[in-house]
Structure 1
């Protein structure tokens, strides 16, 4: 695409150090499956006036991951013109905007937890609200101080308040739990 757009100078940023060194010819390519790709890349980059390769560790490559995700869902237009993509950087991660603190400072499941512990309702609620709490409590399980929600497959999901949810999201999005893990392992770590 860069050649079609008459780009003469190119900066390639990658998080796979081995591949960058192989394409530059600094290291030998031993994997026979990747050899055709490396040869093609070496042929293509000779067509540029200037090309530079830069390695960026995966942990610092969030922006490239986001761009790759966007590129994978946008269909490439038939014309050689691609509209400019405007990107604005936010002060905090997007997931921080989705965890709302409880207005009364109590966890969202507080009324259900009190009902399961003591069979008591909050003060000044209607009979309809009492019925709702009682009906919802059937889907929850209380083990000492930990509250769990039963799933259809008889699993248990731990209930967390807004503060703990924010910490878990930060851990997951910072890949503190490990890079590129599958959903099952990630769920076990969170739970």
Structure 2
């Protein structure tokens, strides 16, 4: 992930950084994101959206889901990068949000920003967002059952928009990202994980 690492400036050494993208095409809808921790751990996310949406909604979904994930990691300093000028400039308050389908997303993200000491939104060219674009496109291409996961890359299927603020729990009662969070915070592997895992 040296592509992302090179872009991190010195003043951002204590910040978490998110790159996000959404994809909406004839095969389906998906989101992708990369989360970079201050200690250079790179976490890739993909999610297939199990509801019909337009491309701008998929972009907002990607942004919302990843901001929610950073809140769960108790992140206080965050930089968010996306190649959707519409989403970034609306979140920065520079463009008005008129589409009634996007207003709930913008309002939801505005509420989420209260959890941070500092959060900023930055527009980047599409060519600088290729990895997350590929993740979003990949997630949009697979037809999954509501509870199905791809064997090698774990895909989740969401049935509700992210702005509803509900993240479903796994059967063990813990959120889907529990093991990832525990590893980042404590370097602790899940129970039953082998050396090979």
Class of the TM-score when normalised by the shorter of the 2 chains: 0.3 to 0.5
Larger Rg computed on CA atoms: 1
More strand by share: 2
Higher relative contact order (CA 8 A, sep 6+): 2
